[in-house]
Amino acid sequence: MGSIKTETVLARLKVGRKVICAGKGNVSPLIAIEAHFLEMILQLASMRQSLTAAGSLNLINSMIQSNNLQDEFAAWKKKHNISGENDYSQQLGQKYWQNFKKRHPEINIKKAIWFDSK
């Protein structure tokens, strides 16, 4: 493990300087309901109904659509200029899935296992 120099800590605690304690980057409005996505995916996995990446994104996008969060998400993307200049779609993409897996390491990526029908 690395160590933090005393000078670094003192410089960040100077009067008038903001100290950032949270993670980096913009926080998506979907973070608040991400636990529901995770719970649904893990429940399906426990029932041996695993999803592919595309299937997981479809599930999450349908949950967003049913909760009427698409407009809020599109406005957030436009405000923070996410996904280029004019692509402010209301659908989540592959990059969201990659970051979702990083935030939730309990999602295991495994190959299919064949079960005997008897």
Does any domain span residue 4? no
Does any domain span residue 2? no
Residue 95 belongs to domain spanning: 27-103
Does any domain span residue 7? no
Q: pTM for this one?
A: 0.61
For residue 30, what pLDDT is reported?
81
Does any domain span residue 59? yes
Contacts of 91 (CB under 8 A, 6+ apart): 61
Does any domain span residue 86? yes
SS3 24: coil
Does any domain span residue 12? no
Q: What sign results for the dihedral spanned by CA atoms 107, 108, 111, 115? A: negative
Digit-coded pLDDT (tens) for 55-96: 888 988 888 888 778 888 778 777 877 665 555 566 788 888
Does any domain span residue 64? yes
For residue 11, what pLDDT is reported?
76
Q: Which residue has the tokens 């996410």?
A: 82
Q: Is the Cβ–Cβ distance between 55 and 72 less than 8 Å?
A: no
Q: Count structural domains, the chain.
A: 1
Does any domain span residue 9? no
